[in-house]
Structure 1
């Protein structure tokens, strides 16, 4: 798996998923924000990490009894043990939260192993316990039933669909209080640089708006006077 540079990772921690979405839209990528997923506990630090994927299919009862967890090669358990440090375990649960994608024990194991977070387009059991962990976590809604009742873990670290978004292993996953967005790995450095500049400009705009300035010509930046004011503002920030 390709690794993010420390610099790019830190830059992405300073920008919002909204800013990233706008940046990706400018590059022609319109469907990168995972639908129907929210943080279990808002207010945590921004989640940034490479995608390590797990895919579920609909469970078939004769192949998915409780005994499957005795298999040391069970994909769900292997995914938890192999998800690299700094990566995000992201799960394709077919947008079905009626059975849990995982619970607090697996989430805690991921945290101890140094994962950057966990995401599912389904639900988690033990959601209050997971929410209390430092580990950023995102799902659709709480769900008590074991995953075996509806989901059959079938593949790890392959391309998946999560919340109507294509996620490839190694893609960059960013999560904040708004939700989760996927950045193709080859664009990560570029997006991080552009978004950091966009974030600085938005900070400048907010200051001007609070001072009573109108947004026409300011947001987006089309007014020459505002351009010069921003350049001066940037120099003062350095």
Structure 2
């Protein structure tokens, strides 16, 4: 993802991005049942770096596994690249924690762009106070040992019913998280910027009392002409 695309995506809502993706036949890119711990942070934008959990098996996943310096959860956190989003497949199960505030703090200090799990986090109040985008299903008090076993790093995963491949572009806002296939990121970002400009024009017009018929979408020539004049006046 180039710097221009990253800057563009930082200004676009996940709703608009989903519409741009839908125009290309991609209907299932918004991660289900995942919410920001702090909806007031700026957009999260980064490339996917993944961690996959499977159901824990007691003989293979006692508490002593954390003494292993190669434990996949610890390695994923400590090797997540700068500017990447750690995407965690927790099987949509928030009964056991994907991580807690210490691991999320480590991601933040490493320069990661954010963290997303379709499970839950421990210490969610502490994570919510960090200046770092974090998205989960709901808080989790137990350790991940009770139900989850970390297995694979940077492989294709499912997160909230969405396929996530390493290198996919991830955008999160106050509503949730969308996954953009890497090869579409530049064109989707550019189109979504244009969509956002028109939506801003429409919002202003609707708030002034104008009907949406012929305006949204722009099926009337007058709407297109008014938009062109508005855009010139606004310098957009």
Q: Does 1:60 align with 2:92?
A: no
Aligned to 1:234: 231
Indicate which of 75, 80, 91 corresponds to 2:72. Answer: 75
Alignment of 1:53-202 (within 5 A): 53-202=50-199
Distance 1:158 1:116 in 2: 19
Distance 1:150 1:210 in 2: 50
Q: Which runs of 5 or more residues in structure 1 are unaligned?
A: none
CA distance in structure 2 between the aligned counterparts of 1:205 and 1:141, rounded to whole angstroms: 35
Give 3-state SS (helix, strand or coil) of 2:150's partner.
strand
CA distance in structure 2 between the partners assigned to 1:161 and 1:104 by the alignment: 23
**CA offset at residue 112 of structure 1?**
0.2
- TM-score, normalization by structure 2: 0.99
CA separation in 1, counterparts of 2:135 and 2:99? 12
TM superposition shift of 1:237: 2.2
Structure 1 length normalisation: TM-score? Answer: 0.98
Matches within 5 A, 1:21-36: 21-36=18-33
Name the SS of the counterpart of 1:174 in structure 2: strand
Q: What do you get for the CA RMSD once the two structures are aligned?
A: 0.6
Unaligned runs of 5+ in 2: none
Q: Shift in Å at residue 43 of structure 1?
A: 1.0
In 1, the alpha carbon distance for the partners of 2:17 and 2:140 equals 30
Q: Decide which moves more: 116-125 or 36-45.
A: 36-45
Q: Which runs of 4+ in 1 moved over 6 A?
A: none
SS in 2 for 1:89: strand
Deviation at 1:72, TM superposition (A): 1.1
1:101-125 Cα deviation digits (max 9, x unpaired): 0000000000000000000000000
Q: What do the CA deviations read for 1:32-61 (whole angstroms, capped 9, x no partner)?
A: 000010011111101000000000000000
How many residues are treated as equivalent by the alignment? Answer: 235
Q: Distance in 2 between matches of 1:53 and 1:65?
A: 23
